[in-house]
Structure 1
Amino acid sequence: MSLALACLSPAPATAAPEPFRFGYLTDASGPMQGTFKATLDGFQLYVDQLNKAGGVKGRPFEIQVRDIQSDTQRSVNAVQELSAADVLAILGLAVSNTHAAVYASAEKLGLPVVAAYPANIPLALPPASPNAFASGLIFSVTGEVAGKLARQVSPKGKTLVCLGFESPGSILACEAATKSAAANGFTKVESIIVPLTQRDFRGVADKVLALNPDVVTDCFGRGHVVSLLPALGAAGYDGVYLNMESGIGIDALRDAVRDAPDIKLFTYSRYIVDGQGPGSQAEALRTAAKAAGVKELLTYHAAGWALGLVVSDAARKCAEPCDRAAFTKALEQVSVDTGGLSGAPITFSPTDHYGATAYRLYQYDHAKKTFAAVGEWLPATSSPAIAKK
């Protein structure tokens, strides 16, 4: 009788596997929401696919998102909250004026930080700070690339103007871009820095035209560019506009330049533009985005997917029990084939938490209303020569 009852007793419940728990900071409702949210969306697309496939080591990813609205105090508060929630790392981040405080607060708590797209201050460059990693843009590197590409798109150009907004990353980008342009033969270089909330660019366009540039380059958010390009067109600018793809999006650029047919528009990016290009990860992103009903694939979606590759690679390499210290060590062993998302793998080391990168140039065809890649990927090192001068 007792045996029969035992056979009928329910089997003990199997405990759910402990998730890999991460915090994610973004600007979902603040002044830069149009720039940062797509990276989170791309990252979540990757995580959804990963969890459907069983996670890593049988453990799912759990992502706790905090909307910090590009505000420093909200960012620091979120780091404290997420640390109390026992996350392994902080991911994402928003505008670069919040970054130093996030890194400092997280370091005190033993939390590694992996900044995503677009911006990061250079703490991840060698010699890297202990907890600072990045898979997006570091503007001292991007600015150096801008100077090289400016010479490519304007072989005889003499004057370059860089437009940025009041944040450490954007200012650094223009400093690096103007120095790089000078090193590549431009004889006059200028920077114009505007407030973060600037949206009326008629006065800025007048300042630009007074300098008579051959090339205008930028480090701007989506809202800035969609207001600036029509103003430049209306003011009569007909030179090169070299846009850094930092979440602007092809549709936004196309609409912004619609009434400015004389502007020679280029964009350049660390990750693929408009979902273009072959490769296993690029194809996986396109498939996941289509299934999720994503109407426009932004560079940020690709960058978010790449962040997922980085974090999952570290999770696989994290020695058990995988605590914060072990996860930090695993991040220093990351080596990811981006599978067509970019022109270079993502590789970290104990002294370099950024690694070599590559950028691709795209040119806009006003008649066809499309962008096409120009040339091959341009490699860049994690030790930019211009930034050190």
Structure 2
Amino acid sequence: MSVRLSRRVQRVSLSANAAAKSRATELRDAGRDILDLTTGEPDFDTPEHIKQAAYKAIDGGATKYTPTPGVKKLREAIQRKLQRENRLDYALPSIVVGNGAKQIIFNAFASTLDEGDEVLVPVPYWPSFPDIVRVNGGEPLFIECGLEQGCKLTPQQLENSINARTRWLILNGPGNPSGAVYSEAELLALAEVLRRYPQVLVLLDELYEHIRFDGNPALSLLNVAPDLQSRTLLVGGVSKTYAMTGWRIGFGAGPKELTSAMTVIQSQSTSGASSVGQAAALAAFEGGLAFLPEQVQAYQQRRDLLVASLSEGDGLEVLTPEGGFFVFVRCAGLLGRIRPDGQRLKDDGDVVDYLLEQGVAGVAGSAYGLSPWFRLSIATATSSVIEAGRRIADACAQLRVEALA
């Protein structure tokens, strides 16, 4: 007997990032020398004071169910964090905690999308965005933002894309996979368009807010357009800044009617997030960011090393990231070239497969809606980044240019 799957689940696919990571892990477990540059997971350990807070919570018996919208002390800490670091004020009912930022995004779309509603998704995008839209009955409307515009949405593109079915716009900064950061002027221009369409909600994914290479503090759309706060959901968490990917704590800050609906959705799926995870997140938000400059400096050094190596690779065009954990590379110049084994590179999937055989694991740009590109993570050891750049440059040099018959 076969299981009949819903049309909903057949509209989505396994995360491309997870698939690439799994493949790299399998090869390494089999004894292959693979440099894994697939995932945005900090190679730094969770700061000690955060781990100590988790131990203390366990010893103190804080291992029970938690309130669905989050422990009050944590939500208050998030409220203070938003005031202190983001210069934004939120009432406590407007803040909700979930099992990672991905659940916050899922709950938001589950609370607001009806069949046929559209969500504007700038390309390249984090792969979960369109699939979370689809599984909740919506339709992603893709807006290609290529190399010539720094992988950033323009006001004219936004204006041209909004229609009667538009429900949300997603803005991700610093971008994943691009590393793009919107300037104050660029955010102001987008805000001017959004003001003409009050029915459009805005989702701000700012998980990488503090991983910036320009030395400036985090800048949000809401800092330049506070009048949009009443229809914006700000999504944050502890995974990137505090190296807490496995703790699974994210938060959303937005209109009370939205966060209340998100709480209802969460109450019927996972209920409240982990008690121990929330205790650790409380320590994170209350413990300051003194550890962060050293880590950001390390990410920037890795970025510079990898960009320099890849810029020497014949056939590659590199978008220098302004923040985040990734370097996004256009590889159109490699297509049509011949590998040493005689196979021709036809698309970015072929390029990623070829690089994997040379011992470097990345993710094809098609996973992010933009081809032919590939993404490499700099959230790994500096020595691995240096060696990956060397291997990729060497792999490009081994390709033959041969005219198609």
**TM-score normalised by length of structure 2:** 0.32
Q: Which has the higher contact order (CA 8 A, sep 6+)?
A: 2
Structure with a larger share of its residues in strand: 1
